[in-house]
Amino acid sequence: RVRASSGNLWQSFPQQALELVRLSPPTWRSAIFSSGSIFLLGYPILASGLSFSGVAAALLLGTITWRAFGPPGFLLVAVYFIIGTAATKVKMAQKEAEGVAEKKRGRRGPSSVIGSSAAAIVCSLLSIYTVGGKAHHLWTLGFVANFCTKLSDTVSSEIGKAYGKTTYLVTTLKKVPRGTEGAISVEGTVAGLLSSVLLAFIGCCLLGQISLIEGIACVVASQLANLGESFIGALLQDREGTQWLNNDVVNVINISMGSIFAILIWRYVLQTR
């Protein structure tokens, strides 16, 4: 009887697992199982762009995301990770030779993961607990805007360092070396804009997380936030008395601006039309 019971348990496990993944709306149990299973299967890919502790932080992000927004939200984060990691590795040898490459060949640690998704995590938790009543759907907009902003920032920086022919300091428009804090280039700016449009399109048209008008808000907000981040980098980073303002802190400020700007643009500009 024990063997028969055990056999029935193993036979029913795939069906139970599939039911957990399909569960809508997601529960914490289904989120932990689904996110954990995907991370276990995809660990070799994740390890190419994240340290072990970075993977652990990403697992936390993935679980909270799945609980809040289900598979569509999880897929959006996955697309962000794939494109961002690919951009970081573009012309890595050249970047290393010029001293402008990311540390550890672009493998991110937990502080980078949290610094790149803090606003999205806050929006996810607010959505889970339906804070804001009828307006709680705005947390989905803030969530998508977080990753549109950060992807645009990453792609513009990495493509600018790889292909930027001329880089200018955003505050003075004087020519500066590639990789300078607060520097911008045409190549990087265009690439960053296109990556933001792509992710907003995926969130809108393929995953159905946001409307077209909300996607436009995400793109505009991401560019405003990244411009603001460039000014912060040029004026405050690497200055005496602002040593605490490292890249992770600036990332949190950047994505927070992106999420807040997107919500404000939709609420007070686009919705009134």
Instruction: Count CB atoms within 10 A of the CB of residue 165.
Output: 9
Q: Which two tokens stand for residue 122?
A: 């806050």
Burial per residue of 138-148, b for 16 or more beta-carbon CB atoms within 10 angstroms, e otherwise: bbbbbbbbbbb
Given this model, what pLDDT does residue 14 score? 57
Q: Beta strands 175-176 and 183-185: pairing type?
A: unpaired
Averaged over successive runs of 10 residues, the pLDDT of the chain (273 residues) comes to 49 55 78 94 90 95 96 96 93 88 81 95 95 87 98 95 91 89 92 98 92 96 96 82 84 97 91 66
Given this model, what pLDDT does residue 127 score? 95
Distance CA 157, CA 68 (A): 30
Instruction: Count CB atoms within 10 A of the CB of residue 154.
Output: 23
Given this model, what pLDDT does residue 99 score? 85
Given this model, what pLDDT does residue 30 score? 92
Angle at 187 between CA 185 and CA 188, to 5 degrees: 65
Burial per residue of 10-28, b for 16 or more beta-carbon CB atoms within 10 angstroms, e otherwise: eeeeeeeeeebbeeeebee
Given this model, what pLDDT does residue 10 score? 45
Angle at 272 between CA 266 and CA 273, to 5 degrees: 100
Given this model, what pLDDT does residue 238 score? 73
Given this model, what pLDDT does residue 188 score? 95
Which of helix, strand or coil describes residue 92?
helix
